[in-house]
Structure 1
Amino acid sequence: MQLTDTVLIRSHLTTITKTGNYRTYKNLDELNKTAAYIKNEFAKFTDSVFVQEYTVEGRVYKNVICSYGTENQKRIVVGAHYDVCGNQEGADDNASGVVGILELSRLLKGKKLNQRVDLVAYTLEEPPYFRTEYMGSYIHAKALADQKIKVDGMVSLEMIGYFKDEEESQSYPVGFLSTFYGSKGNYITLVKKFGAGAFAGKFCKKFKSTGTIRTKEFTGPKALPGIDFSDHLNYWKFGFSALMITDTSFYRNRNYHLATDTMETLDINRMAKVIDGVFKVLSAF
């Protein structure tokens, strides 16, 4: 039985992407509007919601965080960035990931958990701040490290809504990988670096065992293009075990960072299955 609500997915995607404005670092009003929407949605399902503010070049940016199972010491972080790169709706990149954590917030309400789960909506993942200390995920990961908080691991939801069943719809950073992973973009990928830590391996095993969606696991060197192209990279910097769940971004979705990245191009049903899988794993940890 599918747990994630596809009607809600469409509603969230519409609200986040069909505004006529763009969630870029330059458009602080739109970023704040999106942050407020995320915060209000979180607050429907938990009393533990707060905003982590920080200043970049005189402008205040916001991460939005909600928590479940706060009686537990160790925690799992599941995050997604809500900003976009340039003048585009950014449906797959990364409204899809944001909608993932919004649905997780609903599904986790009242759930008995063995670990604390923090859902985090990050700002400033995209250029010009990518790989800088101004990324929202860097700010969040550093705060956890500075406070010596016990973090079991982190999961980045980065583009989880684009799927294709046609041959040659999937490419790879190294051509021979198609021999092992196939040429159809009809699966979700669990991406981690070599030595990503115990949590990352355990999460992958549990996710695949749910059987909610066709899944492939990829482990490679950090230097391989794309393997660290999201917020999980900042948790690696601080020694946390982390992985990325992705439809492989520009290796599949040709709308990447273009105006054509709209919700109409997404596969809502398979996106829901990805979210179901994450929820089942969080429930089982």
Structure 2
Amino acid sequence: MRLLLLLLLTLSLFQFGNAQNQVPQIENVQTSYSDNILNLSFDVIDAENDLVDITFSAGDDGDLELNLDVSNATGDLGTNLTPGAGKSISWDFSNYSGFAPDFRIMITVDDNQPVDFQALANEIDSQELLNFLTAIEGIRHRNTGATQLSSVQNLIRSEFESSGLETTTQIFGFGGYTAENIIGRMIGTADMTNCVIIDAHYDSVFDSPGADDNASGVSGVLESLRVLSGYSFDKSIKFIGFDLEEDGLAGSNHYALNLNPSETTVAVLNYEMIGYYSNQPNSQTIPPGFGTIFPAQVSQINANNNRGDFIAVSADLNSTAISAAFQNAAAYYVPGLTSYALDIPVNSTLVPDLRRSDHASFWDVGIPAIMISDGANFRNPFYHEPEDTIGSLDTTFMAQVVRATTITAAQLAGIRHAATYWEDVGLMNSARSPQKCQFQLSPNPTKEYFRLFSNECAMTDLTITIRDVNGRMIKELQINGSDQEIVADISDLIPGFYSVQISSSNFDTTEKLIVQ
């Protein structure tokens, strides 16, 4: 009996000592302001009641970086603070009050505990992946599957927004179709202008439900997000659903060629078909020439009777460090996953079979990127066919792949055992009237110019500011005097989606503009 009690006590202590420490939570945030003082109240919850560090930062609404001076902020700030309800921060923003400030604020609460990467990996759930797959499967082509395409766009956008991401849509024209790259940014806490991207394309070919190609990849993005959204990161993480991959990588090409120069993409992890698995002999074929370029990997596949039971990770000359990070994460935290690194030792254009997805758009502009893939038509017999359905996929294998990818992204982005809260706070300058105005831009969409007019507000002494989808100012026009109609020349703008801010001493409003 004593031995049984001792064993039970030992087991209890072991379980307690190995229980995952919970990330602190920020709840019930309230903001208010008066006399150029911004006041915040909030609760800090820590399941283990660990002491926490609380920091506050602020920037202009929409800016990539929160770099305003908040050194005069007071309240529950600093290190080794006790968690609990009724925390408060006050910030005197008088130095910025002359600019009709709209601020982005951030609170970070860190209990300085180590991240349990194995526990994080184990949070990836094959049932969650199946749920996403079920919602996404179906023809997602702009001509033959527009309804499902729109439904999946809305799903991605909804998941991004409900996870607290800064969510934007990069719109561009493709023939008569308005394409959408859907972008969700998890804002970093330190190096926020550096970002890691996790992406997948969400479109399909015209006659396939595209379960493996590429509902599996989109499901991977959303499941990575579900788990990572419970943490904070030094760098920002962008989760992206690319449109038009099946049309010459048009979506990712547009994104890669229109990068914000103030932002640095340090790594791209591209999910491209991650659900087809087979342990049957000769279920994996080898692309021509691979035996010469990747002799060790091909030899191992041959020795395993050419079974399609592994994930392939492709990297160009600039991306081998990311590939190595993935291999290390898989080996240590997902030992049941067989992964082969296909590090291309030559210019990637000489290996076209490894350039058939959105990672190649980043390779072409010098950004490190990897493709994570089950091999497409070299394994999946239903590639681009009506039979590419959920029933042919293995969600256990998918979960293993997503675990390795998620750990890789977390390590590259600098994961913290911390919670972050951010909010865009609009503070109307007292010198401005709350007058509401509606303007019309015509034509819209347009190519060369647009006319600006309003039947509600005087067109007197206006500032017109044009910004791209990343919030970067592209052009500013000063209109002095008064006129009933203003014509703005935009012939120098590249095709894309823009915001047009129209402001004066009496109003400030923003309209949307599409340049074709």
TM-score if structure 1 supplies the norm length? 0.90
1:46 paired residue number: 164
Give, in angstroms, the shift of residue 198 of structure 1: 5.5
Task: Give the Cα–Cα distance (whole angstroms) in 2 for the partners of residues 281 and 197 of structure 1.
Answer: 13
2:340 paired residue number: 216
1:139 paired residue number: 254
Tell me: higher relative CO, structure 1 or 2? Use CA pairs within 8 A at least 6 residues apart. Answer: 1
2:225 paired residue number: 105
Q: 3-state DSSP class of the match of 1:226? A: helix
Task: Give the Cα–Cα distance (whole angstroms) in 1 for the partners of residues 173 and 321 of structure 2.
Answer: 32
Task: Give the Cα–Cα distance (whole angstroms) in 1 for the partners of residues 262 and 402 of structure 2.
Answer: 29
Query: Of the candidates 24, 46, 50, which is equivalent to residue 141 of structure 2?
Result: 24
Q: 3-state DSSP class of the match of 1:74? A: strand
Task: Give the Cα–Cα distance (whole angstroms) in 1 for the partners of residues 261 and 176 of structure 2.
Answer: 25
Larger Rg computed on CA atoms: 2
Give, in angstroms, the shift of residue 199 of structure 1: 4.4
CA-to-partner distance for each residue in 1:93-113, whole Å, 9 max, x for gaps?
000000000111111113121
- C-alpha contact (below 8 Å) 2:323/2:341 kept by paired residues: no
Superposed CA RMSD? 1.8
How do residues 103-182 of structure 1 correspond to structure 2 at under 5 angstroms? 103-126=223-246, 129-131=247-249, 135-144=250-259, 146-174=260-288, 176=291, 178-182=298-302
Change (3 A) 1:99 1:148: same
Structure in which a larger fraction of residues adopt strand: 2
- C-alpha contact (below 8 Å) 1:100/1:157 kept by paired residues: yes
Runs of 5+ unmatched residues, structure 1: none
Bigger Cα displacement from structure 2, 64-73 vs 258-267: 64-73
Q: 3-state DSSP class of the match of 1:204? A: helix
Q: 3-state DSSP class of the match of 1:86? A: coil
Task: Give the Cα–Cα distance (whole angstroms) in 2 for the partners of residues 282 and 216 of structure 1.
Answer: 18
- C-alpha contact (below 8 Å) 2:165/2:187 kept by paired residues: no
Within the alignment, does 1:63 sit opposite 2:181 as a pair? yes
Task: Give the Cα–Cα distance (whole angstroms) in 2 for the partners of residues 70 and 281 of structure 1.
Answer: 16
What residue identity is the alignment partner of 1:208? A
Task: Give the Cα–Cα distance (whole angstroms) in 2 for the partners of residues 139 and 61 of structure 1.
Answer: 10
Query: Of the candidates 308, 313, 327, which is equivalent to residue 185 of structure 1?
Result: 308
Q: 3-state DSSP class of the match of 2:396? A: helix
CA-to-partner distance for each residue in 1:68-89, whole Å, 9 max, x for gaps?
2433221111110000112111
Deviating 4+ runs (over 6 angstroms): none
2:10 paired residue number: none
1:251 paired residue number: 378
Give, in angstroms, the shift of residue 90 of structure 1: 0.3
Query: Of the candidates 307, 329, 334, which is equivalent to residue 207 of structure 1?
Result: 329
Runs of 5+ unmatched residues, structure 2: 1-118, 413-516
Structure in which a larger fraction of residues adopt helix: 1
Q: 3-state DSSP class of the match of 1:73? A: strand
